Amino acid sequence: MLETMNTHQAGASSANGLDIVEIRSQIIDIPTVRQHKLSSLSTTQQNYVLVRVRTSNGVEGIGEAATLGGPRWSEESVESIKATVDRYLAPAVLGERADRFEHVAALMDRAAKRNTAAKSAVESALFDAVGKTLGVPASTLLGGAVRDRMRVFWTLASGDVGQEIDEAEQKLAQRKHNAFKVKIGAQEPDADMRRMERLAAALDGRATLIVDANQAWDETTAVRCLERLHAVGVTLVEQPLPAWNVAGMARLRGRAQVPLMADEAIFSEHDALAVGAAGAADVVSLKLVKHGGLLGTKRVAAVAEAAGIGLYGGCLLESSVGAAAHLQVFATLRNLDWHCEHFGPQILRDDLVTAPIAYDNFEVLLPSGPGLGVVLDEEKVRHYAREA
């Protein structure tokens, strides 16, 4: 198969062994085991940009950027991410030391505004390469892990309540998940509320339920729905209003009996500061693709905590590569009271690594190897690489 692979190489290698000498990117497409339906899109295939960084000691680091159905969740698509990495980010950082993480991040910020998913993939690969060089997990480079396993949510997002009940029962029986996030907002609000009532009755207190409206409602609709969601035991509602409506989120939070989580409203630490100052959220969903990488995620988490906002480990259906990078960061956060949702590898029909992320007793386990802790399966990468 002819792969869409771009390579950027620096000139001479230095003796220190940590100079960035090559950056390669390629697009990967992997089918999902079922339809994943949000308020604004539906997909049966997940798309990634896989980035490889090679340092002058010959070590290769890997990183990944995920999107959902093209530039509809945010402005980035896998096509734009790849172009940004190849044309702007790679030339800006080639020849720099891979362990000068903040310096490289500043160079990428000068080379491209926003494009946070593209930057996160490059930075993840740097942490992987440096961790492999030193023989330590990426979490050690971020201050050290305070946990090696995390309670993990599974997302129910087919829109078929019967199928979702069966899916939840299977996860409970396997002792993989007893916490579920339900994607709502694609249907009429009353239909979604009836769906939640059926789910809550079927699970009958055996599982935690939260919902994600993905910006689908206006304020009056949200007020009405939040009352019904509280009545059936939903414990958290994610981004019920459009991301721009921070003032509306604050008004809604003042009336709601259910805590509210900000996702699309918080990309940067400046966003976190504004949401915190407005009193517009109880929780923030952390994602590398939003915050520009591992360092940005730590910064957003710090600002959120300072504002009294709780932390939740969000995902964008990453493979084990992207999930591992997220878990390395989440493991270093002192307070992750709202847990995480890195179930992505399980929704894929296949994965990109030799040993996928592990799940046990309703928790996801932090990979223990150096760097991100996962190793690419090159045959699978070739199989799922997008053709030129």
CB atoms within 10 A of CB 123: 28
Q: Considering only CA atoms, which of 297, 327, 312, 289 is closest in space to residue 128? A: 327
- Please pick, among 183, 287, 290, 363, the residue that the annotation labels catalytic: 183
Tell me the C-alpha to C-alpha distance, in Å, between residue 94 and each of 19, 65, 108, 253: 8, 19, 11, 46
Alpha helices in the chain (DSSP H): 78-84, 90-93, 101-111, 116-134, 138-141, 161-173, 189-203, 219-231, 246-255, 269-278, 288-291, 294-306, 320-330, 344-347, 378-384
Q: At 52, is the secondary structure helix, strand, or coil?
A: strand
Three-state SS at 60: strand
Q: What's the token pair of residue 31?
A: 């089918």
In the chain, the amino acid numbered 149 is R
Q: Is 341 a catalytic residue?
A: yes
202's CB contacts (< 8 A; 6+ apart) are 165, 168, 169
197 counts as catalytic: no
| Residues contacting residue 129 through CB under 8 Å, at least 6 positions apart | 18, 53, 54, 55, 59, 60, 61, 98, 371
Neighbours of 197 (CB within 10 A): 15
Q: Which residues are catalytic?
A: 183, 341
